[in-house]
Amino acid sequence: MNEMLSPFDFKWEEIRDIAISLAVMTFVFSYPEILTSPVFIFTSLLSVGLAFMGHELSHRFVARKLGFYSAYKMWPQGLLLAVMLTLVTNGGFVFAAPGAVLFSGYWIFRNPSMKDIGLIGIAGVVFNLSLLYATLALFFVTSVPLFAFMGTVNAWLAIFNLIPFGPLDGKKVMDWNLRIWAVALALAVAGFVILAIY
Give the integer Cα–Cα distance in Å for 146 and 148: 5
Phi-psi domain of 90 (left: phi exceeds 0; alpha: psi -120 through 50; beta: other): left
Buried b vs exposed e over 85-105: b needs ≥16 C-beta within 10 Å?
A: ebeeeebeebbbbbbbbebeb
Residue 3 known to be catalytic: no
Q: Which of these is catalytic: 3, 13, 33, 56?
A: 56
Give the integer Cα–Cα distance in Å for 139 and 119: 30
Please identify every residue annotated as catalytic: 56
